[in-house]
Amino acid sequence: MNSAQRMMRLAVAAAAMAALPGMAFTQQQDFSKVQIASQPLTDQLYLLTGAGGNMALLTGPDGAVLVDDQFEPLAPKIRAAIALLTDRPVRFVLNTHWHGDHTGGNEAFGGTGSVIVAHANTRSRMSTRQFVDLFKSEVLPASPAALPIVTFEHGVTLHLNGETINARHVAAAHTDSDVVLYFETSNVVHAGDVFITPAYPFVDLSSGGTINGLILALDDILARTNAQTRVIPGHGPLSTRADVQAYRDMLVVVRDRVARALRAGRSQQQVLDARPSREFDQRFGGSFITAETFVSRTYQDLARE
């Protein structure tokens, strides 16, 4: 593993550990040294990175559209980075799901006129007390100003700046609130945390996530993209359809091995001892979701069925 890969894995782990508002880790983070970087994808579409989930920014005469907004303390830095790319206001903020490293800036943007759009379950989970089992963390309700004011069940399409943005809900994947965004004109996908790299997935069982739903969500992305599609993961570097395919195939292999062991009556410890993810651990096992955590949660998820 080279130094760039190690740094990326550390970044994914740090962002994920700070993902949820109400966690002490989040409150203790020092955001003062975080820089918001922009990577142009087209003349008007950018990938923005910082300390939380990857963001996307669409610019143009109709106003800006921002996908996700990381953590609340970073809102001024995000605004400053946007101002370098456009003088138009942020008209819409689209949330890919409810976790705080993707919605933490909602109040700052919503309070200044941006319309926050998300799946109905994002509003539902943000507006009520939650408990995330992996972190053993209670998440308090967000303020009213942080809540999405436009919600949908299956999908919604925005037509702005010559771009068609198709937002599609994928059920019971990373959470039950996940939305994958297709910038159809630019052939760019923002996958949210349905696809993160290079790391094993965080299937948030306490938020309605499932391994089978995650695989189906990746299948949907593969069915709607081509070899030229660029994919923005929830965390990690800009990726390709081939990266999504490899990620999906890895999940299927591990899921199937765990499922067979479960049907054979194997205990969780016996499955862990068999190391069903062994050939993938070097590539994907370096984040806060270790191979043991991934296999354990896959076992627990399938056992519920």
187 three-state secondary structure: coil
Residue 262 lies in a domain: no
pLDDT recorded at residue 30 = 86
Phi and psi at residue 263, to the nearest 5°:
-65, -30
Reported as a single tens digit per residue, the pLDDT across 224-257 is: 999 999 999 999 999 999 999 999 999 999 999 9
Total domains, the chain: 1
Angle separating helix axes 241-263 and 211-223, nearest 10 degrees: 150
pTM of the model: 0.92
State yes or no: pLDDT of 1 exceeds 60.
Answer: no
One DSSP character per residue, 62-112 reads T-EEEE----GGGHHHHHHHHHTT-SS-EEEEE-SSS-HHHHTTHHHHHTT
State yes or no: pLDDT of 12 exceeds 60.
Answer: no
Banded model confidence at residue 5, pLDDT cuts 50, 70, 90? very low
pLDDT recorded at residue 29 = 78
CATH number of the domain that 25 lies in?
3.60.15.10
Residue 280 lies in a domain: no
Residue 288 lies in a domain: no
Residue 267 lies in a domain: no
Residue 74 lies in a domain: yes
Q: Which domain holds residue 210?
A: 3-252
Distance of CA 229 to the CA centre of its chain: 18
Strand 115-119 with 90-94, pairing: parallel
Reported as a single tens digit per residue, the pLDDT across 178-230 is: 999 999 999 999 999 999 999 999 999 999 999 999 999 999 999 999 999 99
294 three-state secondary structure: helix
Q: Which tokens is 178 given?
A: 């996940």
Residue 286 lies in a domain: no
Straight-line distance from the first to the last Cα atom of the chain, in angstroms, rounded to the nearest whole number? 37
pLDDT recorded at residue 120 = 98
Residue 240 lies in a domain: yes
Reported as a single tens digit per residue, the pLDDT across 17-68 is: 444 443 333 445 789 999 999 999 999 999 999 999 999 999 999 999 999 9
Residue 299 lies in a domain: no
